[in-house]
Structure 1
Amino acid sequence: MNPQQPIKVLLIDNHPLVLDGLKALLETYSHVEVVGTAGLARAGLEVALRTQPDVVLMDINMPQVNGIDAIELFQQQLPGIRVLMLSMHDSREYISTSVLRGARGYILKDVSTEEIVAAIEAVARGETYFSSGVSDVLMERKPDENATPLTIREQEVLRLLAAGQSNRDIGQALGISAATVETHRKNLKKKLGIATTAGLTRYVIEHGLN
Structure 2
Amino acid sequence: MTDKPIVKVLLVDNHPLVLDGLRAILETYEHIKVVGAASLARPALEIAKAERPDVVLMDINMPEMNGLDAIELFKEQTPSTRLLMLSMHDSREYISTSVMYGASGYVLKDVSTDEIVEAIDTVAAGGTYFSSGVSEVLLESRDKGQKGRTLTTREQAILLLIAAGKSNKDVAATLDISARTVETHRKNIKKKLGIATTAGLTRYAIENGLIGNDP
SS of the residue aligned with 2:127? coil
Report the counterpart of residue 22 of structure 2 in structure 1: 22
Alpha-carbon distance change, 136 to 36 in structure 1, aligned in 2, over 3 angstroms? same
1:77-96 aligned at under 5 Å gives the runs 77-96=77-96
1:117-136 aligned at under 5 Å gives the runs 117-136=117-136
SS of the residue aligned with 2:79? coil
SS of the residue aligned with 2:8? strand
Q: C-alpha deviations, 1:6-64, integer Å up to 9, x for none?
A: 10000000000000000000000001000000000001001101100000000000000
Report the counterpart of residue 65 of structure 1 in structure 2: 65
Give unpaired runs (5+ residues) of structure 2.
145-182, 196-215
1:47 aligns with 2:43: no
SS of the residue aligned with 1:111? coil
Amino acid at match of 1:23: R
Q: Distance in 2 between matches of 1:168 and 1:104?
A: 22
Moved more, 78-87 or 12-21: 78-87
Q: CA deviation at 1:139?
A: 1.1
> Over aligned residues, Cα RMSD in angstroms?
2.5
TM-score, normalised by the number of residues in structure 2 = 0.66
Q: CA deviation at 1:80?
A: 3.2
TM-score, normalised by the number of residues in structure 1 = 0.67
Q: What percentage of aligned pairs have identical amino acids? A: 65
1:12 aligns with 2:12: yes
SS of the residue aligned with 1:139? helix
Q: C-alpha deviations, 1:141-180, integer Å up to 9, x for none?
A: 669xxxxxxxxxxxxxxxxxxxx944648xxxxxxxx88x
The 4+ residue runs of structure 1 with deviation greater than 4 A are none
Q: Which has the higher contact order (CA 8 A, sep 6+)?
A: 1
Give unpaired runs (5+ residues) of structure 1.
144-163, 170-177, 184-210
Alpha-carbon distance change, 94 to 142 in structure 1, aligned in 2, over 3 angstroms? closer
Q: Distance in 2 between matches of 1:89 and 1:66?
A: 14
The number of residue pairs the alignment matches comes to 153
Amino acid at match of 1:105: G
If you compute each CA radius of gyration, which structure gives the higher value, 1 or 2? Answer: 2
SS of the residue aligned with 1:100? helix
1:1-210 aligned at under 5 Å gives the runs 5-140=5-140, 165-166=184-185, 168=187
SS of the residue aligned with 1:74? helix
Q: Distance in 1 between matches of 2:24 and 2:13?
A: 14
Task: Report if aligned partners of 2:54, 2:80 keep a CA contact under 8 Å in 1.
Answer: no
